[in-house]
């Protein structure tokens, strides 16, 4: 399978795009005009999209405008822990005498996960 704009570029320019991206000068997704197409790297493709306003970044990014829409913790389909588990892990560790390995076995996760929870690299939205 080959996308239509890659095929159009090949027909119009006689050059296989290979690993390069085919970018659009006119910024029209469905455009197949070979004179509107040019090659670029992934970085150039992203810069082009940002410059043309097709890829929000920085303060314009939707997660900055609406942080409440970001899924975290239990909302993630692959989450093994509940918020109550995270609170309990932090409480047990703070009380002392419990290692990462013991907590990992008790809650069925890897000991690195326990370390991330304790150092607040994961589950950062859970305050206690």
pLDDT tens-place string over residues 94-122: 999 899 999 999 999 999 999 999 999 99
Q: Does the residue 126 lie in any domain?
A: no
- Give yes or no: residues 113 and 81 share one domain: yes
- Give yes or no: residues 12 and 49 share one domain: yes
* pLDDT at 71 (0 to 100): 79
Contacts of 107 by beta carbon, 8 Å cutoff, 6+ apart: 80, 81, 85, 89, 114
| Number of compact structural domains in the chain | 2
* Beta-bridge partners for 40: 21
Q: Does the residue 100 lie in any domain?
A: yes
In this structure, of 12-16, 21-25, 58-62, 104-108, the range with the lowest mean pLDDT score is 58-62
Cα-Cα-Cα-Cα dihedral sign, residues 57, 60, 64, 69? negative
| Parent domain of 53 | 4-65
Q: Does the residue 37 lie in any domain?
A: yes
In the chain, pLDDT over 70 holds for what percent of residues? 91
The pTM for the full model equals 0.51
Confidence bin at 62 (pLDDT 50/70/90): low
Element housing 118 (H / E): helix 111-118
Q: Does the residue 95 lie in any domain?
A: yes
pLDDT for 47 beyond 80 = yes
């Amino acid at each position: 399978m080959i996308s239509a704009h890659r095929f159009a570029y090949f027909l119009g320019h006689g050059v296989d795009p290979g690993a390069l991206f085919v970018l659009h000068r006119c910024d029209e997704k469905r455009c197949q005009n070979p004179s509107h197409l040019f090659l670029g790297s992934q970085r150039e493709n992203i810069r082009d999209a940002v410059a043309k306003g097709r890829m929000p970044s920085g303060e314009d990014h939707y997660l900055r405008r609406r942080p409440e829409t970001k899924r975290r913790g239990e909302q993630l389909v692959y989450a093994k822990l509940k918020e109550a588990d995270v609170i309990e892990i932090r409480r047990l560790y703070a009380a002392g005498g419990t290692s990462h390995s013991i907590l990992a076995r008790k809650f069925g996760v890897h000991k690195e996960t326990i370390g991330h929870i304790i150092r607040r690299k994961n589950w950062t939205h859970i305050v206690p």
